[in-house]
Amino acid sequence: MTGLVIRCTGSAYSVLRDDGEVLTCHVKGNFRIRGIRSTNPVAVGDRVELDTLPDGTTWITEVKERRNYIIRRSTNLSHESHILAANIDQALLVVTLNHPVTSTTFIDRFLATAEAYRIPAVLLFNKEDLLTEEEKEEVAALRALYESLGYQTLALSVLKDDVDEVRELLRGKVTLMSGNSGVGKSTLLNSIFGEEVTRTGRISDAHDKGMHTTTFSAMYALPKTGDEPTGWIIDTPGIKGFGGVAMDKREVSHYFREIFRIGRECRYDDCLHTDGKHCAVIAAVEKGEIALSRYESYLSMLGDEQERKYR
């Protein structure tokens, strides 16, 4: 029978079998998926084939082909990576203008990584209630910028407003939620799941309680409102953005939509858009057609790539 991996603790996996039962499953030590060198062969979000033995233990015998997956590169030199989650429909980045500040560089890195993984990303500007008139305009300008690039954005106060708009967004999809510490992710989950669930500590703050963050990850079924497929939220403790994508410096511009588009007009095919001569991107930045903040984020990722420290 097949099932969906909903929780990984390093040694065991919880799998929601298609008949609705949740089983603890294991993976043989020599289990490998061809072409991927990872420290874990199976990840949250994987669809798997199961085999229950006469002794009652259940084993994962096969991982179905993944639509996508996100990784974290190991910090050691083994070139192995850790798969954080698979088959993600969308990534929701919760950001705040202030309290705490979320930098545009952080947002743009997140969006670029989502592009590299081909995962649609949505920005939620939270804590609208704390904004001054001037700050409201700043948020409006940022939303206009990202919407002009084709990203969906929302603005609200998850503490004060109802979160129906977010529920609608999550409906029937597998969503990876991210954002800096303090932006309101747990508050949002509280209001989506209601007191009952979060009080048990299932979602709320596994990582705040010292969970072993390198191997634990889980996805949580959203409350159902009708007959639609279950929606899921993935919580990967300790991961503020995504894991790193191995990115060649010539590739970075591919993940900044407007820089990629305008960069095709540069004189040289391999233009990195760092030298003003014959560069259509720099000309567009100077004319205000590309936002300076976006160009700076691009340079920042390019610089990281050159120093090989991007994760």
Ligand X SMILES: Nc1nc2c(ncn2[C@@H]2O[C@H](COP(=O)(O)OP(=O)(O)OP(=O)(O)O)[C@@H](O)[C@H]2O)c(=O)[nH]1
Residues near ligand X (CB under 6 A) are 126-127, 129-130, 157-160, 179, 181-187, 205
Q: Which is nearer to Zn ion, 31 or 260 (CB)?
A: 260
CA-nearest of 60, 68, 66, 72 to 7 is: 60
User: CA-to-CA distance for 160 and 189, rounded, in angstroms?
Assistant: 13
Note whether 180 binds Mg ion by CB under 5 A: no
| Cβ–Cβ under 8 Å, residues 24 and 14 | yes
In angstroms, give the least distance from the CB of 249 to Zn ion: 13
Q: Is the bond preceding residue 100 a cis peptide, omega within 30 degrees? A: yes
> Residue 184 binds what, of Mg ion, ligand X, Zn ion, none (CB under 5 to 8 Å, by partner type)?
ligand X
Q: Which is nearer to ligand X, 78 or 181 (CB)?
A: 181
> Residue 127 binds what, of ligand X, Mg ion, Zn ion, none (CB under 5 to 8 Å, by partner type)?
ligand X
> Residue 181 binds what, of Zn ion, Mg ion, ligand X, none (CB under 5 to 8 Å, by partner type)?
ligand X
Q: How many CB atoms lie within 10 A of CB 303?
A: 14
DSSP symbol at 189: H
In angstroms, give the least distance from the CB of 240 to ligand X: 8
Note whether 281 binds Zn ion by CB under 5 A: yes
Backbone φ, ψ for residue 245 (5° rounding):
-110, 135
Q: Which is nearer to Mg ion, 11 or 181 (CB)?
A: 181
Note whether 273 binds Zn ion by CB under 5 A: yes
| Cβ–Cβ under 8 Å, residues 149 and 91 | no
Strands 121-125 and 152-155 come out as parallel
Q: How many CB atoms lie within 10 A of CB 255?
A: 21
Q: Which is nearer to ligand X, 155 or 291 (CB)?
A: 155
In angstroms, give the least distance from the CB of 282 to Zn ion: 6
Give start and end residues of each alpha helix (H) in the chain.
104-117, 133-148, 164-170, 185-199, 257-263, 280-286, 292-307
Q: Return the range that interacts with Zn ion (CB under 5 A); candidates 55-63, 237-245, 250-258, 272-280.
A: 272-280
Q: Which is nearer to ligand X, 116 or 177 (CB)?
A: 177
Q: Which residues bind Mg ion (CB under 5 A)?
A: 185-186
Q: Which residues bind Zn ion (CB under 5 A)?
A: 266, 271, 273, 279, 281
